[in-house]
Chains A and B, each alone.
Chain A
């Protein structure tokens, strides 16, 4: 798009500013599948306070969100909806797989459960636990912020 790597100092400063903006205002989507959704709601409440990362505005519409936290089991019946929602989210977007079921199917290795949400969408951070404590979700967001810091404009055009 005209921004080449040999421009050097200008693009790295631009990267830093853009990444700073993105990581400090991650807007998740209200997407609760199963039990882990309750711990995600708790992370948004007063004690754990996800709003210190700028993430208290859970958007109802995927068009306005940039973070998809997948808490809970993904079933084959729900699969087309998750794909549609992920595709509707505009770039840049990130995904956190929250809980054992989202990471790998969890304790449910049955006929209707997809063994891990990364079978269909790319995941940035995996959080293990059944359910993981809300502090683990906050740690995942901190890790995601560190990941976003290292991105360049070429990655997400």
Chain B
């Protein structure tokens, strides 16, 4: 009988500064080396899919914000695209461009949080303050447009909530002009820093073939060398009209994922500059009165609009029978909705496809054989949000 090796079991989380939320990882350690890592999730399972079956299509927009709460408007966009496909409505061009602006701003905000927290976990605290400073400008713009900073629910079925207010375009221009210099600032702090390189180079390696087999999408897949982005492969909301590159890594480790996301910040800025130039005038909502809420001024002055508003808010609108899957390229990967409709005003089944859920499932595979400190770096570089994983 060979003597069995005794491993120490260490429970990391669910309250832990570096687990980005309520994630618990049960580590079986042989000294400092990880033999097995078992993630335990579900501490934030709020039952959004079940709740979706009990709420009307319009009411479900607010739940979509609270899933990946770091980049809320990308989630809104995914949900609205799915319902619009189910109903067969086309949004006007101005709405498409505004949606792209909001989606890219959300992507930048999400990557800034990633950079701030990932660097903080590894020990570089300065970036926390720098990134949050830029993010505040983005949140100010969100607040100007929709009244809410973190969970705007600005993108609605049929278009957007209301037109861009005065002052938004000027603020956006100022942000876009200054942002590239800020990204260069972050690079000077980290990219050639020997401590950063020692902590992230060669850590958390996953090959391109394994990444595809595990179903990984987003910057993690691109860091492993697969040049793939859903905005280019299956374009939505007018993304085919924008010019942008897909940054890819070569080594598939944490350092390459860091470089990929940093370059994505620059590319998002590039898309924003193009969107500002091509913003057309026109309506921001599709002309489908049975589905789209009327404007507030009309509601207060016109009796038909008041009746429509009441009907839509209380009973909701009915959606034709069918099933649709639509997805967007979120900051973390592919985020999608699969909705089955039975012809009533509430979804029969609302399934949320979360990129972080699948990306995190590869964690035991990635960290086997690394050190405990590397687990922290890998969790940070996979970039998870528990709201999206647990729903």
Residues in A lying within 8 Å of B, measured CB to CB: 29-35, 37-39, 41-42, 45-47, 58, 60, 72-73, 75, 77-78, 81, 85, 107-108, 110-113, 130-131, 133
Number of chain B interface residues as a range: 20 to 34
Given A37-B21, A107-B63, A78 contacting B43 (CB threshold 8 A): yes
CB distance from A75 to the nearest CB of B (A): 6
Q: Is the CB of B63 within 8 A of A35?
A: no
Report which residue of B46, B48, B139 has the largest number of chain A beta carbons within 10 angstroms of its beta carbon: B46
Give the residue of B16, B62, B149 whose beta carbon is less than 8 angstroms from that of A107. B62
Alpha-carbon gap, A75 to B389, bound state (A): 14
Q: Is the CB of B15 within 8 A of A31?
A: yes
CB distance from B122 to the nearest CB of A (A): 15
Alpha-carbon gap, A52 to B63, bound state (A): 35
Alpha-carbon gap, A85 to B66, bound state (A): 25
Q: Tell me what chain A mostly uses at the interface: helix, strand, loop, or mixed.
A: loop
Q: Is the CB of B128 within 8 A of A75?
A: no
Interface hits, B183-217 → A, CB 8 Å: none
Q: Is the CB of B43 within 8 A of A110?
A: no
Given A42-B132, A45-B129, A85-B15, A35 contacting B151 (CB threshold 8 A): yes
Q: Is the CB of B133 within 8 A of A45?
A: yes
Alpha-carbon gap, A108 to B46, bound state (A): 7
**Chain B contacts of A60 at CB under 8 A?**
16-17
Interface hits, B314-332 → A, CB 8 Å: none
Alpha-carbon gap, A29 to B149, bound state (A): 24
User: Counting CB contacts under 8 A, is B22 at the interface?
Assistant: yes
**Chain A contacts of B22 at CB under 8 A?**
32-33, 78
Q: Is the CB of B128 within 8 A of A112?
A: no
Alpha-carbon gap, A78 to B79, bound state (A): 28
Given A34-B69, A45-B129, A111 contacting B150 (CB threshold 8 A): no
User: Counting CB contacts under 8 A, is B47 at the interface?
Assistant: yes
Interface pairs A-B: 9 shortest CB-CB: A110-B47, A45-B132, A35-B69, A78-B43, A108-B46, A30-B17, A46-B129, A60-B17, A77-B43
User: Counting CB contacts under 8 A, is B289 at the interface?
Assistant: no
> Nearest residue in B to A108 (C-beta to C-beta)?
B46
CB distance from A152 to the nearest CB of B (A): 32
